[in-house]
Every structure is written in C-alpha cells, then in structure tokens.
Amino acid sequence: MTLQLRLILLGASIFCFFFIIGKVRKAKIRIDDAIFWILSSMLFIVMALLPAIPIQLSRIMGIESPANFVFLLAFSLIFIKLFVLSMAISLEVEKRTRLVQSIAIREKDLDAEKKN
C-alpha cells in the first residue's frame, strides 16, 4: 500500500469516526445503529496504521495488491450492511402495518365504549 493511500484511509476513517460521534451527540442516530459504523471506521484505521495486516491477508487470499484487498473488504462490508438494512426495513414496514391496524381497531373499540 502506498503512503498516500494509507494517509487518505487514515484521514477519512478518523473523520468518519468523529462525524458519527457527532451524530450520536445530536441524537441523530441510535447508539445501536452507530456501533457498526464505529467498528468499521476502527477497522480501516487499523488497516492504515498496520499495513502488514492487509499485505498478509491479500497474499493469503491471492489478491495482487493489498489496496485491492482493502477495497474488497469495504465493498463486502457495504454489501452485508445493505442486506441487513433491507431486512430491517422489511421488519419495520411489517411492524408499522400491525401498528396502524391495531390503532384503527383500538379507536373503533373506544368509539363503541363512548356510545354505550
């Protein structure tokens, strides 16, 4: 990995880390959801500081350049996160449906009680 790439990686990751913390402080994201991003930024900080790790791993995996390994890692992480998010949205939509339905039924019950 070139020094430039390592510096960019390090700078961007540190920026992201504090950006996410800032969002937690302003209550724009739940801590539960921030954990993934915090850990990801830590991962890339480690990669930038200890290039031996991506170099060794890329050798083991038969990837020509350690930089490619870093890109593959980032890409895979995003792919997994995207699917997890997609699942989470599905569940939320299902929950919202149940919620709306139960509010409607409860209101009808309330109205019926009032009339009696």
Partner 1 sequence: MNKKIFRTLVIIPAYNEEGSIGSVIEALRHSGVEFLVVNDGSKDGTLALLKELNVNFLDLPVNIGLHGAVQAGLIYASVKKYDCAIQFDGDGQHRPEYLPVLISAIQNNECDVAIGSRFVNTKRPASMRMLGSRLISYAIYLLTKKLVSDPTSGMRAYSQSVIDLMAANPNYGPEPDTIAYLIRTGREIKEFHVDMSERTAGVSYLGFTSSIKYMIRMMVSILLIQPFR
What are the residues binding partner 1 (CB under 8 A)? 18, 21, 24-25, 27, 30-32, 34-35, 38-39, 42, 95, 98-99, 102-103, 106
* Least distance from partner 1 to the Cβ atom of residue 108, Å: 14
In angstroms, what CA-CA distances link 40 with 13, 53, 89?
Answer: 8, 15, 21
Structure-token pair, residue 47: 């990669």
The answer to whether 62 touches 71, Cβ cutoff 8 Å, is: no
Q: Which is nearer to partner 1, 29 or 67 (CB)?
A: 29
Q: Which is nearer to partner 1, 82 or 103 (CB)?
A: 103
Structure-token pair, residue 86: 């997609």
Q: Give the residue carrying structure tokens 């900080």.
A: 45
* Least distance from partner 1 to the Cβ atom of residue 81, Å: 15
